[in-house]
Amino acid sequence: MAELIGYLFTLNALFTWGLASLVYKFGLTKVEAKAGLLFRLMFVSVSTFLLSLIFGDYSVFLNLNSQEFFDYMIACLISGLSVTIGDLLYFLSLKKIDASRAYPLTQLSLIFVYPFAFIFFGENVSVSILIGGILILLSVFILSSKDKPKSSDNEMEPSYKLREDLIVGVMFSIGTAFLWALAIVSFNQARVITNDVFSTNFIRVAMGAIFFILLGLFQRDYYSGFRKESKAHLKYFFYIGIAGALSLGFADSFFYIAAEINGLVLTSTITANTPMLQQIFSIVILKEKFRKRFLLAVILIIVGNYIILFL
């Protein structure tokens, strides 16, 4: 029974992450990335707090000594800032490139997780990890390759602009992958100290939210979603916020619960199929252009992940 619940939690994460990326892409066609991110953080902070009150255990902090508590808070801070800044880069990438290209690139986070694990936790980097990493990196070149330019001279300038957006969008996605990897490693470190997923998720999200609320005092565009002139687009902020609550709030928490039940290897392997599902969603729901090389790239990502996790 426990294993079945773990599978259900994993499938929830897979579908939620894939669908949330489409909601972000849709919402960001109407609102600015920074404003959408801050609105989303507020939604996620509330949802993770409520979730932690129901399923979390704050009494564990009473059993921590001063050093453990300090290490825990630092790990939460690193995770909160890295996942939030990574989300901002992801939002910016969605403003530049298709969701079907941006999301698979963020799966490069697995490439960065292993060096971090080696440096901070002393875990070995095996040959299978290197082979899988090469396959995943190869997918980056496939995903970042530009479409064939049209022959019309009148389209030369738009094509150049599209190429520039492509390069910037790909770089943002790779930056997202790096920061999300850092968030995963630091989150895991914090979870190990308290053995509680839900309170840890809330604390790290709250830290990220506080950081961007304070940053908004100096960069007013973070607060543009609360201006009167943004009232017409208010529903798009809510779409992004709800998607964030379901993804970063619920799906992330349940993913780590599933990993505790069925093991991180099996759970991660199942969720490694998210880019494939997201690719299908992008084409069917957002009507994004189907590119044959995307299918090859996503297959390379999945195969690379399987090699890393199983061989």
- Residue 223, judged by CB atoms within 10 A of its CB (0-12, 13-18, 19+), counts as middle
SS3 content of the chain, % helix, strand, coil (to 5): 85, 0, 15
DSSP string, 262-290: H-HHHHHHHHTTHHHHHHHHHHHTS-PPP
Least trusted range by pLDDT, from 26-40, 137-151, 208-222:
137-151
The average pLDDT across 48-76 equals 93
* Whole-number pLDDT of residue 157: 46
- As a whole number of angstroms, the distance between CA 166 and CA 164 comes to 5
Instruction: Quote the pTM value.
Output: 0.81
Q: What is the pLDDT of residue 161?
A: 60
Domain region containing 185: 2-147+156-310
Q: How far apart are CA 197 and CA 204, in angstroms?
A: 11
What pLDDT is stored for residue 241 in this prediction?
92
Identify the sign of the CA torsion 289, 294, 296, 301: negative
Q: How many domains does the chain have?
A: 1
